[in-house]
Homo-oligomer: A and B are copies of this chain.
Amino acid sequence: MSRYEAFVARKREHILRALDDACQATGLSGLDDFELEHEALPDIDLDEVTLASRLLGQPAPTPFYVAGMTAGHPDAAKINRLLARACERRGWAMGVGSQRRQLSATRADAELDQWAQLRAEAPALVLFGNIGLSQIIGTPIHYLQDLVTSIRAQALAVHLNPLQECMQPEGTPQFRGGRAALQALCAELGVPVVLKETGCGFSARTLRSLEGIGLAAVDVSGLGGTHWGRIEGARAANTPGAGMQAQAAETFRNWGVSTAQSVIHARSTLPRVECWASGGVRSGLDAAKLIALGAERVGYARPALEAALAGEEVLDRWMAQQEHELRIALFCSGCIDPASLRLRHAAM
Chain B residues closer than 8 Å to A256, beta-carbon distance: 38
> A117 in the interface, Cβ–Cβ < 8 Å?
no
The smallest beta-carbon distance between A131 and chain B, in angstroms, is: 15
Known: A39-B205, A205-B37, A248-B325. A331 touches B44 (CB 8 A): no
CA of A329 to CA of B173, assembled, Å: 13
Chain B residues closer than 8 Å to A107, beta-carbon distance: none
The smallest beta-carbon distance between A87 and chain B, in angstroms, is: 19
Q: Of residues 115 to 168 in A, which have CB atoms within 8 Å of B's CB atoms?
A: 133, 160, 162-163, 165-167
CA of A325 to CA of B246, assembled, Å: 11
Known: A37-B205, A166-B332, A255-B332. A244 touches B321 (CB 8 A): yes
Q: Of residues 184 to 237 in A, which have CB atoms within 8 Å of B's CB atoms?
A: 195, 197, 200-206, 209-210
Chain B residues closer than 8 Å to A325, beta-carbon distance: 247-248, 251-252
Known: A45-B173, A166-B46, A176-B45. A203 touches B37 (CB 8 A): yes
Known: A45-B175, A317-B243. A202 touches B40 (CB 8 A): yes
Contact with B along A320-334 (1 / 0, CB 8 A): 110011001101101
Q: What are 26 inter-chain pairs, A to B, with CB distance below 8 A?
A: A37-B203, A37-B205, A38-B163, A38-B202, A38-B255, A38-B256, A39-B162, A39-B206, A40-B197, A40-B206, A41-B178, A41-B182, A41-B209, A44-B176, A45-B175, A46-B165, A48-B176, A162-B331, A167-B328, A206-B334, A248-B324, A251-B284, A251-B325, A252-B325, A252-B332, A255-B332
Known: A200-B40, A203-B38, A244-B320. A331 touches B178 (CB 8 A): no
Show the binding face of A for B, using Cβ within 8 Å: 35-48, 133, 160, 162-163, 165-167, 173-179, 182, 195, 197, 200-206, 209-210, 243-244, 247-248, 251-252, 254-257, 283-285, 317, 320-321, 324-325, 328-329, 331-332, 334
The smallest beta-carbon distance between A333 and chain B, in angstroms, is: 9
CA of A255 to CA of B133, assembled, Å: 40
B321 pairs with A248, CB closer than 8 A: yes
Chain B residues closer than 8 Å to A197, beta-carbon distance: 40
Known: A165-B46, A166-B332. A38 touches B200 (CB 8 A): yes
